[in-house]
Structure 1
Amino acid sequence: MKDIFAGLDRPDWAIEPEDACERAGAFIRQVLDDSGLPNLVIGLSGGIDSAVSAGLAARAVGADRVRGFLLPYATSSAASLSDATAVAETLGIAHETVPITPMADTFLADIPADQRVRRGNVMARCRMIVLYDRSAAHQALVLGTGNRTEALLGYTTMYGDNACALNPLGQLYKTEVRLLSAWLGLPRSVLEKAPSADLWEGQADEDELGFSYAEADRLLHEMIDNGRDAAALAERGFAAPLVERVSTRVRAMRFKRQGPPVAVMPGRPDPDRDGGPR
């Protein structure tokens, strides 16, 4: 029997794909039921995160209730589009293409070409504008695609790719998302390609971060999940510069993982935290 996980990092702490799928599926069904809406929409980038999120949703509520959107910019790679299409066809979900070039270029005209992060953020936010508009058209919630690794490192655009109504991947490291991709039977091209937000030509996540997702996941699991300090991490073989770099990012990007701080006023209870209307 073929080992579907061959060549993949599978640490002993990784949540088993079947268990992750079951938990994520129950979560998706519960949130959708609570919303009163019947459907889900998702942006399909051709990357592994959106592929796995779509796969979990299709299994949880049925492919007929999930709609994918391909949202290319003029510089998006042809491979990203073909991989996104392959994912939709593999899962049997409806999909359509909505180029964001016209709307993005209106903003990008005033942003210098060498300001790649600013330009990439504009593209990410334009994509979310389209998704939220299409969610209204299809009586749907926007399905998130961000994983735990990206959230802890702050490798995400606020109100862009991190905007969603629900996120089944938010507690799963990139390592676990890769295992889920294999378990779900998604196209191998999605699993094997280098991670990239495809925001500019040649962009690669790990080049920008300066370390691999596998390295980050092992460290973050020990640092965050197991609560180990720098000395304990050093004993486990983690290099001090990597520990410092990652811990600094985690602290600095905390604001991306929380809602906007709100000034507390007397006599103004939070209905969502304090029980709501009686």
Structure 2
Amino acid sequence: MHKEISHYLVEWIRDRVAEANARGCVLGISGGVDSAVVAALCAKACPGKVLGIHMPCYSLPQDTDDARLVAKSLNIDYIEVELNDVFDCMMGVLKDARQTNKMRELEQRVVPTAHSERLASSNIKPRLRMIVLYYFANLYNYLVVGTGNRSELEVGYFTKYGDG
């Protein structure tokens, strides 16, 4: 049964790439199981035409090691794009924007909660990753392949316009 599902998914990816007149696939490789499975399916669907991108942003070094291992074992093209500085810059710009008179007036009427502050900043990382993925997809005429994971499906959560 697993072989049937795998074959179906490989064909589905191959068909989507062909329909988009794309030359291959680009995907984020986190170092986790879900992105490794998607990378393996893409490698079968588009041999020699897969770019895996690891985009750490204050991530664990083990994640980078695992991402490298996945790319090497699948023999796919692989790069790393470090996002710490971009994230810090974006947070600084947003913090500065919140210090303007207009925003201070707004925040007197609508006070952000600790939860909304965490949610707002946590969604920046997947959106930065999305920018990187689509940059390289457009550059090489590749199709972005999402790597959403089971826990996101179970709870019904993902970042809209993120890297899923």
* TM-score under structure 2 length normalisation: 0.81
Greater helix proportion: 2
CA contact (8 A) 2:25 2:46 kept: no
Match of 1:60 among 45, 50, 62: 45
User: What is the rounded CA distance, in whole Å, between the counterparts of 2:56 and 2:149 in structure 1?
Assistant: 21
Structure 2 CA distance for partners of 1:101 and 1:147, relative to 1, 3 Å: closer
Deviation of the 1:148 alpha carbon = 5.4
The one of 152, 159, 162 aligned to 1:160: 162
The correspondence for 2:15, drawn from 30, 37, 42, is: 30
Map of 1:105 onto structure 2: 88
Secondary structure class of the residue paired with 2:123: helix
2:119 counterpart (117, 120, 143)? 117
* In structure 2, distance between residues paired with 1:140 and 1:27: 15
Q: Give 1:43's match in structure 2, choosing from 28, 52, 55.
A: 28
- What is the DSSP-based 3-state SS (H/G/I as helix, E as strand, rest coil) of the residue aligned with 1:118? helix
CA distance in 1, matches of 2:28, 2:9: 18
Q: Distance in 1 between matches of 2:24 and 2:131?
A: 18
Question: How far is the alpha carbon of 1:59 from its aligned partner?
Answer: 1.1
Distance (whole Å) between structure 2 residues aligned to residue 88 and residue 22 of structure 1: 21
* Fraction of identical pairs, as percent: 35
Which of the residues 142, 145, 150 maps onto 2:144? 142
Report how many residues are paired. Answer: 144
Q: Tell me which residue corresponds to 1:237.
A: none
Which residue identity is paired with 2:7? E
Structure 1 residue matching 2:39: 3-state secondary structure: helix
Q: Distance in 1 between matches of 2:76 and 2:25?
A: 11
SS at match of 2:26: strand
Please say which structure displays the higher CA radius of gyration: 1
Higher relative contact order (CA 8 A, sep 6+): 2
The letter for the 2-side match of 1:17 is: H
The 3-state SS of whatever aligns with 1:72 is coil
Residue segments in structure 2 that go unaligned for 5+ positions in a row: 99-111
CA-CA distance at 1:147 after TM superposition: 4.0
1:69 equivalent in structure 2: 53
User: Are 1:88 and 2:74 counterparts?
Assistant: no
TM-score, reference length from structure 1: 0.49
Q: Shift of the alpha carbon at 1:152?
A: 4.8
Q: CA deviation at 1:116?
A: 3.4
Give runs of ≥4 in structure 1 deviating > 6 Å. Answer: none
* Larger strand proportion of the pair: 2
Q: CA deviation at 1:154?
A: 2.0
